[in-house]
């Protein structure tokens, strides 16, 4: 394992791999005298143990098997369940004559255990207490064929709990979108390495609880096989947010500026400014339309609110800033356009969100239509935070195309615009000079107005405190998602408001807070 990889793992980031990398690791293991069928039995035994632990009362199973090793895993699991006295219904999506190698050995093992082979038919019944999906595995790409579509629809329609072996059928291991049809698993037991596609976009919605079982193999021992992304964990926070020195002062914690809140659109900017203060920035200034200043003072008097009629009033306010965030409630009228132009003329770390992104997209499209070159459209010192719709506008493509390959879209945005890109959504992705990171936390309750504005404030506040851009983006996304999960845990997902996140975030970034140990907080 490289030194860089070890450092990332020590800081709480876990490696994610691509399907072809997993196949190569599997090949190397067999090449090193690890019997392929023995490895299959190890995998199936592990999945069977997880199934029993998760559903101890299950007395019957329905196992769906495809071809190849994933199907083989299903056949072996069926055999193990039968040997322990469970009633097992085994369906195959492929004719027996198409099986070969270890998959054929596995099918014979199930035969010998007394498990009947059943060819899947669209009118077949599904009788198990728990369903096991061993149809497609990590090799799936492209479109599902008819037998699999019918089987997946039937499985999802039962309402029964589902355990997916390695990856839910219909989900792409590399992060391309799950199609309209994919297994909705309650638990996914994945083998050898963790896979990017389990956590982002449609994969996040279909994988349920993910359990990673390396089966005794160490992917990080192979220095020529580099993870395609890194999964953030709560342990990252200790590395990113060490305790503050006791003699710290506000001047050492940065001065963040928020520009937004065009006339009639004040709420988003107020949320961003308060979030920036709550994440720990030393000072926060809000530049907004004059009509919103009173509301800002009432809501959060710690924020220095400045009412601006014209962009010509902005430059003096930017002179002392450590970081600038622009976009929440900015609008796309002349007021917002002038504010963005003034901000782009400054050499200052910047967080760009919401309508500022839409204005950038318009500029980029205009530049593409001419021979002009706008140097303000690529910078190393900014963080762009698009949701899929904004990403589509920045890339001049459809939202469906962004969601079809979220990792690819994040990388393309970073290559085109520079700096760091945060592609929001289920399994938010952070792409910077060091590569791709993924946050697997968050919940549907966060799909409400203003949560993105809070994230913008968090990012700006962390940059103000001295975190470099990529680390600040990762830390903010992680805190934001975990705060959402904590808020949902307290009162449920429905009705969760963006303003609920700040207090939960404050607890997360001060995990040891208490009367006796305040000196150890962050």
Q: What is the pTM of this model?
A: 0.93
Count of CA atoms in the C-beta half-sphere (13 A) of 21:
23
143 appears as a binding residue in the annotation: yes
CA-CA distances (angstroms) from residue 74 to 60, 77, 89, 107, 170? 14, 5, 11, 9, 16
Consult the annotation and say whether 405 binds a ligand: no
Asked if residue 33 belongs to a known ligand binding site, the reply is: no
389 is in an annotated binding site: no
What the block records as the tokens of 297 is 């003072």
Q: Does the annotation list 71 as a binding residue?
A: yes
Query: What is the C-alpha separation between 129 and 59, in angstroms, rounded?
Result: 7
Q: Which residue has the tokens 């070969």?
A: 100
Task: Output the pLDDT for position 515.
Answer: 47
Which residues are within 8 A (CB) of 520 and not within 5 positions of it... i.e. 6 or more apart?
243, 512
Calculate the dihedral angle through the C-alpha atoms of 448, 265, 477, 423, rounding to the nearest 10 degrees: 80
To the question of whether residue 57 is assigned a binding role by annotation, the answer is no
Instruction: Name the helix (H) or strand (E) containing 110.
Output: helix 101-112
Give helix then strand counts, H and E, for the chain. 19, 18
428 is an annotated ligand-binding site residue: yes
Tokens coding 512: 């040891």
Query: CA 161, CA 273: separation in Å to the nearest integer?
Result: 44
Tell me the per-residue pLDDT of 198-248, one tens digit each, with 9 for 90 and over. 999 889 999 999 999 999 999 999 989 999 999 999 999 988 999 999 999
Residue 414 annotated as lining a ligand binding site: no
Q: Tell me: the pLDDT tens digits for 149-181?
A: 999 999 999 999 999 999 999 999 998 766 678
- Distance between CA atoms of 191 and 185, rounded to whole angstroms? 16
Asked whether residue 137 is marked as a ligand-binding residue, the answer is: yes
Tell whether residue 333 is among the known ligand binding residues.
no
Distance CA 129, CA 143 (A): 29
Sheet holding 60-65, edge to edge: 117-119, 87-92, 60-65, 130-134, 162-165, 187-191, 209-213
Strand-strand pairing, 60-65 and 350-352 = unpaired
Q: Is 142 marked as binding a ligand?
A: yes
Q: Distance (Å, rounded) from C-alpha 99 to C-alpha 105?
A: 9
Instruction: Give the three-class secondary structure for 39.
Output: helix
User: Does 138 appear as a known binding residue?
Assistant: yes
Q: Which run of H or of E encompasses 6?
A: helix 3-10
Q: Which domains, ranges and CATH numbers included, belong to the chain?
A: 18-228 (3.40.50.10260), 236-240+250-510 (3.40.1190.20)
The answer to whether the annotation marks 114 as part of a ligand binding site is no
**Structural contact between residues 116 and 51, judged by C-beta atoms closer than 8 angstroms:** no
**Which positions of the chain have pLDDT values less than 50?**
371, 515, 518
- 166 marked as binding residue: yes
Residue 329 labeled ligand binder = yes
Q: Consult the annotation and say whether 452 binds a ligand.
A: yes
**What sections of 159-207 are H helices per DSSP?**
202-206
Annotated binding residue 445: no
Burial of residue 320 (number of CB atoms within 10 Å: 0-12, 13-18, 19+): exposed
Cα dihedral sign, 318-259-334-421: positive
Q: Report the pLDDT value the prediction gives residue 512, as an integer from 0 to 100.
A: 67
User: Is 387 known as a binding-site position?
Assistant: yes
Is 280 annotated to bind ligand? Answer: no
């Amino acid at each position: 394992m490289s030194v860089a990889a070890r450092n990332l793992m020590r800081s709480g980031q876990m490696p994610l791999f691509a399907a072809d990398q997993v196949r190569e690791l599997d090949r190397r293991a067999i090449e090193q005298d690890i019997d392929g069928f023995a490895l299959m039995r190890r995998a199936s035994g592990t999945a069977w143990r997880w199934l029993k632990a998760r559903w101890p009362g299950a007395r019957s199973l329905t196992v769906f098997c495809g071809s190849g090793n994933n199907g083989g895993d299903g056949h072996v699991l069926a055999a193990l369940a039968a040997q322990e006295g469970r009633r097992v219904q085994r369906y195959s999506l492929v004719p027996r004559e198409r099986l070969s190698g270890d998959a054929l050995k596995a099918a014979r093992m199930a035969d010998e255990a007394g498990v009947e082979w059943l060819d899947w038919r669209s009118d077949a019944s599904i009788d198990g207490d728990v369903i096991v999906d061993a149809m497609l595995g990590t090799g799936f790409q492209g479109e599902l064929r008819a037998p699999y579509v019918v089987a997946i629809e039937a499985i999802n329609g039962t309402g029964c709990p589902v355990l997916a072996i390695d990856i839910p059928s219909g989900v792409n291991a590399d992060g391309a979108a799950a199609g309209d049809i994919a297994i909705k698993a309650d638990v996914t037991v994945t083998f050898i390495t963790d896979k990017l596609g389990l956590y982002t976009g449609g994969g996040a919605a279909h994988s349920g609880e993910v359990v990673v079982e390396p089966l005794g193999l160490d992917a990080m021992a192979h220095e020529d096989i580099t993870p395609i992304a890194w999964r953030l964990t709560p342990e990252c926070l200790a590395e990113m947010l060490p305790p503050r020195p006791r003699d710290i002062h506000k001047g050492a914690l940065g001065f963040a500026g928020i520009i937004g809140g065009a006339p009639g659109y004040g709420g988003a900017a107020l949320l961003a400014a308060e979030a920036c203060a709550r994440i720990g920035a030393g000072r926060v200034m809000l530049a907004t339309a004059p009509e919103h200043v009173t509301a800002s003072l009432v809501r959060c008097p710690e924020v220095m609110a400045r009412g601006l009629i014209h962009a010509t009033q902005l430059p003096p306010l930017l002179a002392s800033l450590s970081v600038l965030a622009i976009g929440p409630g900015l609008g796309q009228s002349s007021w917002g356009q002038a504010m963005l132009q003034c901000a782009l003329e400054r050499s200052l770390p910047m967080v760009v969100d919401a309508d500022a992104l839409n204005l950038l997209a318009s500029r980029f499209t205009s530049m593409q239509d001419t021979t002009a070159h706008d140097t303000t459209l690529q910078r190393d010192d900014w963080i762009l935070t698009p949701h899929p719709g904004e990403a589509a506008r920045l890339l001049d493509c459809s939202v469906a195309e962004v969601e079809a390959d979220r990792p690819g879209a994040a990388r393309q945005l970073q290559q085109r615009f520079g700096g760091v890109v945060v592609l929001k959504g289920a399994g938010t992705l952070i792409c910077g000079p060091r590569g791709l990171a993924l946050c697997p936390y968050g919940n549907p309750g966060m799909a409400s107005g203003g949560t993105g504005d809070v994230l913008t404030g968090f990012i700006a506040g962390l940059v103000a405190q001295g975190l470099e851009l990529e680390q600040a983006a990762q830390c903010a996304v992680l805190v934001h998602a975990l705060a959402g999960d904590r808020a949902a845990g307290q009162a449920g997902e429905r009705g969760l408001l963006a303003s609920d996140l700040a207090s939960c975030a404050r607890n997360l970034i001060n995990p040891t807070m208490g009367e006796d140990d305040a000196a150890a907080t962050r």
